[in-house]
Structure 1
Amino acid sequence: WAAVLFLPALAGEVFWSAELLVAIGSTFGVILGMDLTTAILLSAVVTTAYTMLGGMWSVAWTDIFQLGLVAVGLAAALPFALSGAGGLHASWMHYVSARPDGSNIIPLRQAAGGLWSTPSVVSWWDVSLMLVFGGIPWNCYFQRVLSCQTPRKARGHSILAGVLTMAFIVPPLLMGVAAFGYPWPPDTLARLQRHPAETLPVLFAEAVPPAIGILGLAAIIGAVTSSFSSSILSAGSMLSWNGLKRLVWPSLSVRQMKRVIRSSILLFGAAATVLALKVQSVQALWFFTSDLIFVLLFPQLVFALFDRKVNRIGSIAAFMVSLLLRIGGGEPLLGLPHVIPYPEIFSSVLPGTPADWYDATTGAMLFPFKTLAAGVGFVLLPLVSRVTARWDQPRALRNPAGDEEQEYVVRTA
């Protein structure tokens, strides 16, 4: 069953890699004057090649360099970008006046006719919970946690990573405000409206001095290539370990494992490239990736770590029901219409009419079915596990290498 559970994580890594390729391709396209499709192909070849050849060492060492490059590049470019847009205050006031409904950190319910009606606020929280908790059960994160020397260091590094993530969010947000208020030439503005993913690299190329712009573009490339290489390496490792060694080829040696991982990296790099060329939307791929992990894997991870009584039957039941509830809500990225009319089913407890819970422009459902699907998984997993405990005994976490019978004791701070 664990070999099935890794499939959503594997799919998530591929979708995440595709998103990153769009970001890398947008930057390369600005630097080299290429169209987005050609730039994505070039980015895929370069990043997949150095990850496949260098493995974990290439990821570890490039991560160190690229993290520093991100901090320096963004810090150097931000003042010039804001200055070109009239300064921080002028840029922010322009944004607030143009987008009054989108300038708050947390949306506030407004009167009829405003952007933030009750259904849209509920949908915003549904997506926010998905993005927060869907960012936890990632194999590339746990690869780094398990590589720490002690649990104390693993906790400390995780907390530090969270703090740094929040700090690194601020410059891109301010860059977005500057880009919104920047006086773009008409042809550039039309280009950015067609390809929003190119906004940040174009801002670096046109709104800041050339030397600083190159540093800023290098910061984007550094940040995104670091994540892409980690993601496809993680996907290749999961397929090789969870799939081939566990199910198909138990006698796989270390040397053979390395070859399989390299081949898997090439395979997933190609798959991510196809997705990036098809979708070409960073936001759509990012949301769908978090969605997949949040609904299917977050409940499984929480109970695997913190509930000693859960078993395989409970895990299967929670996974399958959550999957059906999520698919029932539809997915525009995959062209899947909704088949479960959640607003009509819950009309007796929802404010307004069922029609209010559909977006008037896109027809997308505003009902929080993602959180509902994950919540049902949280309820079913422990409940079914306890009901079926006599037929399926819970299993302790053991040494994943399979070489010893030593049990791992999961300790929480």
Structure 2
Amino acid sequence: MAVNIPGLISVIVFYILILVIGIIAARKSRSTSAENSFVANRSIGLWLSFFTITATNIGGGYINGTAEAMAFSGLIWTNAPILYSISIGVAGVFYAPKMRRGGYVTMFDPIQAKLGDRAGSLLFFPQLMGDVFWSAAILSALGSTMSLILDLDPVLSIIVSTCVAVFYTFIGGLYSVAYTDVIQLICLCVGLIVACPFSFFHPSVDLSRVQDTWLGELPTNMIGIYADLCCQLIFGGLAWQVFYQRVLACKTASVARTSSIVSSFCSLLFAIPPAAIGVVGAAADWNATSYTGDVPIPTEYHSFILPMVLNYLCPLPVAVLGLGVVAAAVMSSADSSVLASGTVFAKNIYKDVLRPQASDREVMWVLRVGIVVTGTLSCVLAILVKSVYGLFYLCSDLVYVILFPQLTCILWIGFTNTYGALTGYALSLFLRVAAGDALLGIPALIQFPFYTEADGQLFPFKTLAMIVNFVAIISVSAFTRLVFRRRWLSTRWDVFNVMKREEDAKRGEKRGESLMMKERHDGNRDPDYAQNEKLKLRDNYMQ
């Protein structure tokens, strides 16, 4: 089979377009401090914020996974788009404004301000692993798609796509990522909308084949796991740095809230075309197409149903346009992941823990090195490891089980301290790992209720671990605070200085209140400005 030359040319043109836009946008990031570069000088308005949040959410896994679930499991198991959209909406209403008003640079700033730089940095590792494995999984999917449609070597496709995404992220940071997201989202929208009618009206497609199966089934014994999955998709999405990097770059808290809410609705709308393509894939008679593989489609090829529909049920120009859809979706997620990990490492690990005296120039180069290292690791994993998606699946569990309770308690429960946070971290991590994972071959050390050898854990153990995390954080924090405040134990034993940190926070709050009163007296009516300064003073006292 020869290389698809027209398709190859169109992909090259698409990549050149993305590079040019990334390079142009990079000019906006010059002559700024490191922190301003991390959050694009907090200059992103409503429309750009909406585009970049939506494009980041709608990655290669989102559209490919939606089509796969709809084709082979039915609507009831195609719950990720709906629940992800709810997650963004919840984050937009409750989390985004609070984080933006805090004037933070990364999601981990309030965590380190509350727990201390070193203890807070421990929470970075589930996020880092999730970003690396997620990028690797979607790059691997892109390589397989290009191999299917263009007959290109998948390894070469993965390497080239990684290099393009890393290059414009390296030179432009968040500016380049945000502006290229606009083009990627437009390509995604046009490609999916154009492909749907062609695939539906292909002669091999008969929708009557799926009229009794498209809804899917939920066996009674799977209700617990289904509920677990739903909770993970909603609440696990509230603690990802890729989302907060955009929120914290918005001009105001109001912009952050509005763009997040609009993005949640649009993300749901963008799931309709790939879901429809999944139905087409299930309704097609593949023997009546040019497809020469096994029928029914083997399990290992289920994740390729969207590119298969584009390739075998659509004309070549539409298939090539659809390939641009997959490439756009993958790159809009891959660049965000490598930038998020690079930013947190440069700011929260290198600057705050390893070298507090580091200059802006030094921190910027650490960011760039972090981007390259994260991109390289993702690329290597995408090429070498066959269970990349399984690794990401476990890491996304850790974000739900560990990061979500920690971030929530730190933002809303004022007495949360390092003792409670570390206790919750350890207990929830142990429970999650002890539950095992069949996909990764990790045996179950704890057999929760309803466990069977055939089906594994049927109890919602991830939600249990998350709740244990919450309970441990709140109870241990309250207990240790009481012990030190009542002098039942001398503050000499307060190894994490939580009482000193609490007193410093109170002084910062009082100084901030004075500043807010002065701003009102002077006629400054911008509540976000005054609140930002108040919270900055509080956190500065705590450092």
The TM-score range, normalised by the shorter chain, is 0.7 to 0.9
Distance 1:81 1:170 in 2: 14
Residue from 134, 146, 161 that aligns with 2:248: 146
The answer (yes or no) to whether the contact 2:436–2:444 under 8 Å persists in 1 is yes
* Contact 2:390–2:440 (CA under 8 A) maintained in structure 1: no
In the alignment, which of 428, 437, 462 is matched to residue 322 of structure 1? 428
> Secondary structure of 1:134's match?
helix
Q: Which residue of 2 aligns with 1:411?
A: none
Paired letter, 1:322: S
Matched positions, count: 377
- 1:2-401 matched pairs, under 5 angstroms: 2-84=120-202, 90-91=206-207, 93-97=208-212, 100=213, 103-104=215-216, 108=218, 116-117=219-220, 119-185=221-287, 187-189=292-294, 193=298, 194-280=300-386, 284-285=390-391, 287-343=393-449, 354=450, 357-358=451-452, 360=454, 363-389=455-481, 390=484, 392-393=498-499, 395=502, 396=505
Secondary structure, counterpart of 2:317 in structure 1: helix
CA gap of 1:154–1:85, structure 2 versus 1, over 3 A, is farther
Q: Quote the offset at 1:165 in angstroms.
A: 1.2
The AA in structure 1 aligned to 2:188 is: V
Q: Secondary structure at the match of 2:271?
A: helix
User: Unpaired runs of 5+ in structure 1?
Assistant: 109-115, 344-353, 409-413
Q: What per-residue deviation string (whole Å, max 9, x for no partner) do you get for residues 292-345 of structure 1?
A: 2101101011111111111111111111100000010012344321111223xx
Instruction: Tell me the CA shift for residue 75 of structure 1.
Output: 0.7
Given that 1:19 and 1:276 are in contact with CA atoms closer than 8 Å, whether structure 2 keeps it comes out as yes
Q: 1:85 to 1:232 in 2, by over 3 A?
A: farther
C-alpha deviations, 1:327-379, integer Å up to 9, x for none?
Answer: 10012344321111223xxxxxxxxxx4xx3362xx53222111110011111
Deviations 1:73-95 (A, max 9, x none): 111111111222666xx43x423
Note the C-alpha offset of 1:407: 3.0
Deviates more, 1:298-307 or 1:275-284: 275-284
CA distance in structure 2 between the partners assigned to 1:144 and 1:254 by the alignment: 21
Please tell me whether the aligned partners of residues 237 and 261 of structure 1 are also in contact (alpha carbons under 8 angstroms): yes
When residues 231 and 405 of structure 1 are mapped into structure 2, their CA distance, relative to the original with a 3 A threshold, is closer
CA contact (8 A) 2:133 2:389 kept: no
Worse-superposed segment, 318-327 or 30-39: 30-39
- Give 3-state SS (helix, strand or coil) of 2:292's partner: helix
> What residue number does 2:48 align with?
none
Structure 2: distance between partners of 1:31 and 1:254: 45
1: CA distance, partners of 2:190 / 2:313: 17
- Structural RMSD (CA): 2.8
- Structure-2 separation of matches of 1:273 and 1:333: 21
What do the CA deviations read for 1:160-192 (whole angstroms, capped 9, x no partner)? Answer: 111111111111111111112222246234695
Work out the CA distance in 2 between the residues paired with 1:359 and 1:39.
40
- In structure 2, the residue matched to 1:347 is none
8 Å CA contact retained: 1:233, 1:265? yes
TM-score, length of structure 2 as denominator length? 0.64
Verify the 8 A CA contact 1:20 1:282 in the aligned structure 2. Answer: no
Distance (Å, rounded) in 2 between the aligned partners of 1:83 and 1:309: 61
Q: Structure 1 337/274 Cα, relative in aligned 2: closer, same or farther at 3 Å? A: farther
Q: Given the two structures, how large is their TM-score scaled by the length of structure 1?
A: 0.83
Distance in structure 2 (CA, Å) of the matches to 1:22 and 1:198: 11
CA deviation after TM superposition for structure 1 residue 31, in Å? 3.8
Deviations 1:54-82 (A, max 9, x none): 32222111101111111111111111112
Would the aligned equivalents of 2:381 and 2:388 in 1 still touch at CA under 8 Å?
no
Which ranges of structure 2 fall in alignment gaps of 5 or more residues?
Answer: 1-118, 485-493, 513-531
Structure 1 pair 243–227 and aligned structure 2 pair: CA distance change class (3 A)? same
> Matched residues in 2 for 1:311 and 1:85: separation?
63
Conserved 8 A contact 1:85-1:178: no
Larger Rg computed on CA atoms = 2
Contact 1:25 1:42 (8 Å CA) reproduced: no
